[in-house]
Amino acid sequence: MRNVFLAAPVDMSKGFKDFFDTIGLTGGGLVTKGIPAVLSIIALGMLLSLSGDPKSALIKGAKAVGTLFVAVVLALYGDTLFSTVTEAKG
């Protein structure tokens, strides 16, 4: 029987840096793609869990819309906002 490899072995000896490099996500990409995606999912979950009480629904809805706004701002301007962050030298 032949040996069949689905993917070439990848050296992950540098930890998270190697992992994020393999999926094409840098530190800046994590801020501009990953975090806004998670915030969007949280905001949509908040919108779907609104109650029948008008007062609490208004409060929860406002929080959900605010969370969605933060996610959109991070998605659009995250790279500019965090461009001043430099790598720590250890």
Give pLDDT tens digits for 6-44.
766 777 777 767 666 766 666 666 667 778 888 889 988
Report how far residue 62's alpha carbon sits from residue 50's, in angstroms, rounded to the nearest whole number: 11
The reply to whether the predicted model has a pTM over 0.85 is: no
Helix (H) or strand (E) holding 21: helix 16-22
pLDDT at 29: 67
∠ CA 46-50-55, rounded to 5°: 120
Helix (H, G, I), strand (E, B) or coil at 83: coil
pLDDT at 76: 82
N-term to C-term CA, the chain: 49
Give pLDDT tens digits for 54-83.
888 899 889 999 999 988 888 888 777 766
The encoded tokens of residue 11 equal: 């050296």
- Residues 48-57 have a mean pLDDT of 86
